[in-house]
Every structure is written in structure tokens, then in C-alpha cells.
């Protein structure tokens, strides 16, 4: 079980965000997200957006802090990366 989170550095909607992923399965990711109280609407293709004020809670619950590059690399290596399709 490896849940990964990058540091909160992504600005959007007046807040700063992190990304939470699993390098094992989407099921693992969804279960963990429910356990820490992340809303389902925060899931986008292959990750959850995590507001900065949830970051410490998610890390305390067991997510491993990694760089954004490592997060994407491990998601790709696990075959779980779902890229956005642009029209």
C-alpha cells in the first residue's frame, strides 16, 4: 500500500492544493480518501485534489510525501495515470 501526496503548491479557486494518488489501485485511493474525509468531488481522473489545510491530516493518516515529479512517475509506473483528453 503506497498512498502518495505532493506538497501543497498548486493554486486554484483561491486555495493551495496537493494531489493524492495510490501507486497500487483506485480502490485503495478511494477507501483512504473516505477515511480522511475527502469528498468524492475531489477525485479527478487519477488523483484527489487535497486542500492545504488537509495536508497534515492526510500525511498523519499514512500518505507518503513525495515531489510532484515522483508522484507522476510512480503513477505512470503503476499504469494508473489517466491523462486528460483535450478536444
Contact predicate 42/49, CB 8 Å: yes
* pLDDT of 81 above 90: no
Max CA separation in the chain (angstroms):
39
Q: What is the pLDDT of residue 28?
A: 95
Residue 59: phi and psi, rounded to 5, are -65, -45
- Whole-angstrom Cα distance, residue 40 to residue 10? 19
Is 61 in contact with 32 (CB distance < 8 Å)?
A: yes
Q: Residues 12-33: pLDDT tens digits?
A: 999 999 999 999 999 999 999 9
Amino acid at each position: 500500500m503506497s498512498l502518495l501526496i505532493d506538497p501543497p503548491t498548486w493554486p486554484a479557486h483561491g486555495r493551495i492544493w496537493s494531489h493524492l494518488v495510490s501507486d497500487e489501485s483506485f480502490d485503495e485511493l478511494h477507501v483512504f480518501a473516505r477515511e480522511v474525509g475527502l469528498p468524492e468531488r475531489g477525485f479527478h481522473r487519477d488523483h484527489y485534489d487535497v486542500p492545504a489545510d488537509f495536508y497534515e491530516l492526510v500525511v498523519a493518516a499514512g500518505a507518503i510525501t513525495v515531489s510532484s515529479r515522483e508522484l507522476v512517475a510512480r503513477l505512470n509506473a503503476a499504469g494508473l495515470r489517466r491523462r486528460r483528453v483535450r478536444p
